[in-house]
Amino acid sequence: MSGAAEVFAGNFTQQEPIPEDAIAAAVAVMRSGRLHRYNTSGDEIGEVAALEREFAAYTGAKYALAVASGGYAMGAALRAVGVRPGDKVLTNAFTLAPVPGAIAGVGAVPVFVGVTEGLTIDLDDLAAKVDQAQVLMLSHMRGHLADMDRLMEICDAAGVTVIEDCAHTMGAAWRGRVSGRDGLVGCYSVQTYKHLNAGEGGLLVTDDDEVMARATMLSGSYMLYDKHGTVPPDGAFARVKYDMPNVSGRMDNLRAAILRPQLARLDAQCAAWTDRYRAVEQGLRGTPGLTVITRPAEEMFVGSSIQFLLLDWPDNAVGAVLARCAARGVQLKWFGGAEPEGYTSRYDSWHYAPSAPLPPSDRVLRAVVDMRLPLTFSLDDCALIARIIRAEVGAVWQAGVAQVIR
């Protein structure tokens, strides 16, 4: 690397500021003192209930429930569809720790399904394992959507209930169908690094009356469920309200107030992320030794992060790429490391969920390099980042990786 090489000076963890109208809404809630979601008077609609109505309308769902985190939404969904301690639950081998954590949190046992080079769940492996469980917790990991038509055919034929983890696909769609609406339940995150930023929080959507009633009671509604934004019929609550434990995980009015103005801008924000993704993707195409992920035409994705593969590279060569890019200001994360680092743990890192090796998936996971694309980056920033990655991958490749993997 020459002394004149370009260096990127941006921050990969710096998000955009909260919009001014969201700040004003949050201040109004604080001035009111009514932060708790049920602290309303008469027919007043609180911020959380209003957010639930607006998110249900955005996704086209009958019901939405605002909760404390995306992980809580997944745990509530699992309980609400009837998963019990000891049950097996299918899920992706390539995901983040809160997904198997939600399964283990209800006492169930993850059964891992492989990953393809497109970074989606391996549908052939799913078809081979679908008879092992009654529920699939499907993770749209890093915003990659599988062929949802074939996936639902496999699961429907086997009587398997699908819960979608849409932490990275809020605003995305498959063949025009909003992500989270193919399965019985869709779960979303509004943590800082997701597509809406409340610091922490989650949302759950479904069209099923009883699933929503169960999830609402689980969230800690006491008997105040009629104060929610989208409320199932009384009969649904009558069947479940004395049987579901209160596992308090409510969202508060302050976070909902911050989120509602952001939701109104979500589609524009998603388009801006994908513009940044395409700028980096274009700059990486044709780099020797680097595989760009192919995105299906049926997928409308949100490019809030980007991944590429260094297939069959030795570990020390991948490490060299990461170090060389970091020296030029580009922070890459690698899912192939021997030990978890930050969010890059793998299915074989989660000792509470024993698993057999998945050799084809292990090859892919060792190759996955990941990078956030915050909206604080300009398109010129993204082009610069791509030039740096391309140069450093090329330098390590030319130094001998090609001879090693041939």
The kind and range of the H/E element at 90 are strand 88-92
Residue with tokens 């049987």: 243
Pick from 164, 219, 169, 160: which is nearest to 187 by CA? Answer: 164
Distance between CA atoms of residues 2 and 106, nearest Å: 54
Under the banding of pLDDT at 50, 70 and 90, the label for residue 1 is very low
Q: Which residues pair with 161 in a beta bridge?
A: 135
Res. 387 pLDDT band, cuts 50 70 90: very high
Higher-pLDDT residue of 47 and 345 is 47
Domains of the chain, first to last: 20-264 (3.40.640.10), 266-405 (3.90.1150.10)
Which strands make up the sheet holding 368-372, listed edge to edge? 291-292, 305-309, 368-372, 333-334
Reduced to 3 DSSP states, what percent helix, strand and coil does the chain have, rounded to the nearest 5?
Answer: 40, 15, 45
Confidence of residue 338 (pLDDT cuts 50, 70, 90): confident
The answer, yes or no, to whether residue 9 has pLDDT greater than 60, is yes
Tokens 């009633």: give the residue: 213
Residues paired with residue 308 on neighbouring β-strands, in sequence order: 292, 369
Q: Which of 199, 146, 204 is nearest to 170 (CA)?
A: 204
- Cα separation, 371 vs 385, whole angstroms: 10
Query: What mean pLDDT comes out for the span 95-100?
Result: 96
User: pLDDT at position 242, please?
Assistant: 95
Which band of pLDDT confidence, cut at 50, 70 and 90, is reported for residue 402?
A: low
Determine what percent of the chain is predicted with pLDDT higher than 90. Answer: 92
Q: What is the pLDDT of residues 15-39, one digit of tens each?
A: 999 999 999 999 999 999 999 999 9
Name 372's bridge partners: 305
- For 152-203, what is each residue's pLDDT tens digit? 999 999 999 999 999 999 999 999 999 999 999 999 999 999 999 999 999 9
Contact partners, residue 395, CB within 8 Å, separation at least 6: 1, 324
> Looking at the predicted structure, is the pLDDT value of residue 342 above 60?
yes
Identify the CA nearest to 288 among candidates 321, 259, 332.
321
Residue 3 has pLDDT above 60, yes or no: no
Q: 161-165 and 135-139: which strand pairing?
A: parallel
- Both tokens of 91, joined, read 């899920």
The two tokens of residue 316 are 């020390």
pLDDT of residue 310 exceeding 70? yes
Would you state the structure tokens that stand for residue 161, as one six-digit string? 């209930």
Tens of pLDDT, residues 39-97: 998 888 999 999 999 999 999 999 999 999 999 999 999 999 999 999 999 999 999 99
Q: State how far the Cα of 20 lies from the Cα of 154, in Å rounded to an integer.
A: 46
Looking at residue 214, its pLDDT comes to 98
Predicted pLDDT at 385: 98
Residue 296 DSSP class? P
CA 231 to chain centre: 26
Instruction: Give SS3 for 381.
Output: helix
Residue-averaged pLDDT of the chain: 96
Which pTM value belongs to this model?
0.96
Confidence at residue 405, expressed as pLDDT on a 0 to 100 scale? 58
pLDDT in tens, 219-272: 999 999 999 999 999 999 999 999 999 999 999 999 999 999 999 999 999 999
Residue 325: pLDDT band with limits 50, 70, 90: very high
Q: What is the pLDDT of residue 404?
A: 61
The whole-number pLDDT of residue 403 equals: 63
Tell me how far apart the alpha carbons of residues 19 and 3 are, in angstroms, rounded to a whole number: 40
> 3-class SS at 112?
strand
pLDDT at 11 over 60: yes
Quote the DSSP letter at residue 397: I
What is the predicted pLDDT for the residue at 2? 43
Reference 132, options 149, 109, 165; nearest CA is 109
At residue 340, the pLDDT reads 87
State the pLDDT at residue 42.
83
